[in-house]
Amino acid sequence: MTRKLVNHDDIRQWTAARAGNPAMADGPVGADPVLRLVFGQQQLNAGENQYGDRPGGIDLVSWEEWFEVFEKEKLALLVEDEKPGVLDDYHEYVERD
């Protein structure tokens, strides 16, 4: 079962519980950056931590920057319901209803 998160505190808590961070990837020229949440090894390969070219152009960003794009695009974060003993980091960006 899935649920949609729109509240900023809920999204921060969900991400923090999975040791994740907000990030953005380069979008097409002239377009907004693409929102990402990165976990584990992705964090090590993002932004300042990456030597040479950044794979996919992923940069760690502040929550303020991340939520600015999140609100501008009127998105919601679709996540799996929590299961006892499992912190699944599956997520998807969807339009708000």
Cα–Cα distance measured from residue 69 to residue 8, given in angstroms and rounded to the nearest whole number: 12
| Confidence (pLDDT) at 53 | 47
The domain tally of the chain equals 1
Mean pLDDT, residues 1-13: 95
In this predicted structure, the answer to whether residue 8 has a pLDDT above a threshold of 60 is yes
Per-residue pLDDT tens over the stretch 15-48: 999 999 999 988 777 777 899 999 876 555 555 5
Cα–Cα distance measured from residue 21 to residue 39, given in angstroms and rounded to the nearest whole number: 7
Range of the domain at 45: 2-95
Cα–Cα distance measured from residue 42 to residue 71, given in angstroms and rounded to the nearest whole number: 24
Q: Which has more pLDDT, 52 or 13? A: 13
| Confidence (pLDDT) at 27 | 77
Q: Would the pTM of this model clear 0.85, i.e. be above it?
A: no
Per-residue pLDDT tens over the stretch 52-73: 444 456 888 999 999 999 999 9
